[in-house]
Amino acid sequence: MNPRGLRNNNPLNIRRIVGTIWQGQLAEQRDKKFVQFKSIEWGIRAACCILKTYQRKYQATCVEDIITRWAPASENDTAAYINGVCRLTGFGGKERLAESDWPQLLRAMVLIECGTLLPASIVEEGFQLYKQTNKNTKQ
> Collapsing DSSP states into helix, strand and coil, what is residue 93?
coil
- Strand partners of residue 62: 96
The structural domains of the chain, with segments of one domain joined by +, span 4-133
Say if residue 137's pLDDT is above 90: no
For 71, which DSSP code?
Answer: S
Residue (of 57, 69, 63) closest to 104 by Cα position:
63
What are the pLDDT digits (tens) for 52-105?
999 999 999 999 999 999 999 999 999 999 999 999 999 999 999 999 999 999
> Would the pTM count as exceeding 0.85?
yes
pLDDT at position 1: 76
Report DSSP letters for 5-61, one per residue: HHHTT-TT-PBP-TT---TTB-SS---SSB--BSSHHHHHHHHHHHHHHHHHHH---
Q: What is the mean pLDDT of residues 102-112?
A: 98
